[in-house]
Amino acid sequence: MSAPSTLSILRWLVWRDLTLAWRRRADVLSTLFFFVIVVSLFPLGIGPETNLLRSIAPGVVWVAALLASMLSLGRLFANDYQDGTLEQILLTPQPLYLLVVAKIFALWLVSGVPLALIAPLVGVQFGLPQDTLLVLTISLFIGTPILSLIGSIGAALTLGLRGGGVLVSVLVLPLYVPALIFGAGAVEASIMGTSPQANLSLLGAMLALALVFAPWATAAGLRISLE
Amino acid sequence: MLEIIGLGCVRGDRRLFSNVDFSLRPGSFLQVQGPNGCGKTSLLRMICGLLEPAEGEIRWEGANIRSLGEEYSAAMTYIGHRNGVKDELTASENLRVSCGLGGIDVSENEASSILDTVGLKGRERLPARLLSQGQRRRLALARLLACRTPLWILDEVLTSLDKDAIALIKSIVEEHLQSGGMAIIATHQELNLSAGSFQRLELAS
């Protein structure tokens, strides 16, 4: 028997999750629509007051991204848990840490990336200038993987619980706060005409930190949930 | 060789079993029996490493499975109650993905010949949600043929299978034992295998 190659196993896992997401694209699209609709409600409700809209835009877009990424967490492990494939994944001859990273990466590709890509379009409704839209997109590109990583801990811990959805939000939303502050802070700085670099750097540091610790905590959570 | 030494299981505040000892040599087969709720599934999940033993030790080739980690996972195939079949994937994709996750790349042609063997000919491209219970079970068992690991751990393997499928399983397991494999099977039905040495473990309630 040849030694199982880590890369090929991870590739299978990512391929599998992306194929599943494609076959259930209604789920993916509904998260994206949720984001677009929530963000669009604010300009409609407030009216065409450019200054007010501009000052609330960073917070509104980021909070909507937070909520949309919460919605996508349910897909991360729950389906695999129900049909028994999660057991198979746990018994895969690879460190669970890497498998969790692969699963989160696949989730981010179908939940975080579309959000970041569509953000400039919804940002236009708030009358944001062009360079601010760019900062918004960049901040979401760095920020959404943090949200998926931190959220995966909550998803793993609440696996198999009844009413887990509400519990996930209670567990995870407070942990999202630093990402929200620096993500929205970067966009705000750009609106004020100052450099968003400090905020973006802090966001990047948080991503590095989350990448190291979150999959490890998620792996431990999965082992507990499956006992 | 698999050795189980003084294994005990506590679920909640109930003791399911204690002091379970046995060892399994290449070419031998263990049937786990007992009434519902006596801990058969817990025992099998402990042996495959999903459940931490409350007491006792499980050794594979002389080393504790906890310290072996992935090396042990690579030597074992577990098929539980839940088949581990994805509804949205086709039969062939399901087989290829679960083998791929086990570290074995199966080509499309190999997958269809294996599915042919387990009686799923012509259904390779059907999404698994359209398969019947028994067919899903057959699909799960196809993994055994694709990933030839030395140790098989099968939980209630014969449920919802018809006579032909049961005969097929028996022949697959017999062949596995003849080629030096090991199998642990929890089932209420008698298997009456003609190959390999047979042990029975009766768990009391």
d(CA A140, CA A203): 10
Residue A112 identity (one-letter amino acid): G
Query: Each residue of B108-157: pLDDT tens digit?
Result: 888 889 898 888 888 888 888 898 888 888 898 888 888 888 999 998 88
Rg (C-alpha) for chain B, rounded Å, is 17
Q: Any CB–CB contact under 8 A between B10 and chain A?
A: no
pTM of this structure: 0.90
Q: Which of B157, B152, B155, B159 is nearest to B175 (CA)?
A: B152
Q: Are A158 and A167 in contact (CB under 8 A)?
A: yes
Beta bridge partners of B127: B90
End-to-end CA distance of chain B: 28
Taking CB atoms and an 8 Å limit, are B97 and A16 in contact across chains?
Answer: yes
The DSSP letter of residue B107 is: -
Lookup result for tokens 């929530």: A38
Residue A211: pLDDT over 90: yes
Nearest to A90 among B50, B87, B105 (CB): B50
Q: Any CB–CB contact under 8 A between B12 and chain A?
A: no
Q: What is the DSSP string of B47-73?
A: HTTSS--SEEEEEETTEEHHHHTHHHH
Q: Are B63 and B30 in contact (CB under 8 A)?
A: no
> What dihedral angle (degrees, nearest 10) is formed by the CA atoms of B71, B74, B77, B79?
90
Mean pLDDT of the A44-55 span: 90
Q: pLDDT digit of tens for each residue in chain B (205 aa)?
A: 888 888 888 888 888 888 888 888 898 889 988 888 888 888 999 998 888 888 888 999 888 888 888 888 888 999 988 888 898 999 999 999 988 888 888 888 888 898 988 888 888 888 888 988 888 888 988 888 888 889 999 988 887 788 888 888 888 888 899 988 999 998 888 777 777 788 888 887 6
d(CA A105, CA A21): 13
Residue A3: pLDDT over 60: no
List, in order, residues 6 or more apart from A133 with CB less than 8 Å away: A119, A120, A123, A124
Tokens describing residue B98: 């679960």
Instruction: Provide the pLDDT for residue B205.
Output: 66
d(CA B126, CA A29): 25
Q: Angle at which helices A197-225 and A130-157 pack, to 10 degrees?
A: 20
Q: Which of A213, A223, A99 is nearest to A156 (CA)?
A: A223
Instruction: Provide the pLDDT for residue A2.
Output: 45
Q: Any CB–CB contact under 8 A between B108 and chain A?
A: no
Chain A residues with CB within 8 Å of chain B CB = 1-5, 8-9, 11-13, 15-16, 19-20, 23-24, 82-85, 87-95, 226-227
In a 13 Å sphere around the CA of A190, the CA atoms on its Cβ side amount to 24
Instruction: Provide the pLDDT for residue A4.
Output: 56
Q: How far is A107 from chain B (nearest CA, A)?
A: 17
Instruction: Provide the pLDDT for residue A219.
Output: 94
Q: Which residue of A has its CA nearest to B86?
A: A83
Q: Which of B161, B153, B179, B203 is nearest to B2 (CA)?
A: B153
Angle value at C-alpha A199, between A194 and A200, nearest 5 degrees: 105
Q: How far is B102 from chain A (nearest CA, A)?
A: 5
Lookup result for tokens 């877009």: A61
The DSSP letter of residue A163 is: T
Q: Any CB–CB contact under 8 A between B134 and chain A?
A: no
Residue A66: pLDDT over 90: yes
Query: Each residue of A161-209: pLDDT tens digit?
Result: 877 778 888 999 999 999 999 999 999 999 998 999 999 999 999 999 9
Residue A1: pLDDT over 50: no
Chain A residues whose CB is inside 8 A of the B87 CB are 83
Maximum distance among all Cα pairs of chain B, rounded to whole angstroms: 50
Lookup result for tokens 């399983």: B169
pLDDT-derived band at A155 (thresholds 50, 70, 90) equals very high
Q: Any CB–CB contact under 8 A between B166 and chain A?
A: no
Q: How far is A1 from chain B (nearest CA, A)?
A: 8
3-state DSSP helix/strand/coil percent for chain B, to nearest 5? 35, 30, 40
d(CA A43, CA A127): 10
Rg (C-alpha) for chain A, rounded Å, is 18
ipTM score of the complex?
0.86
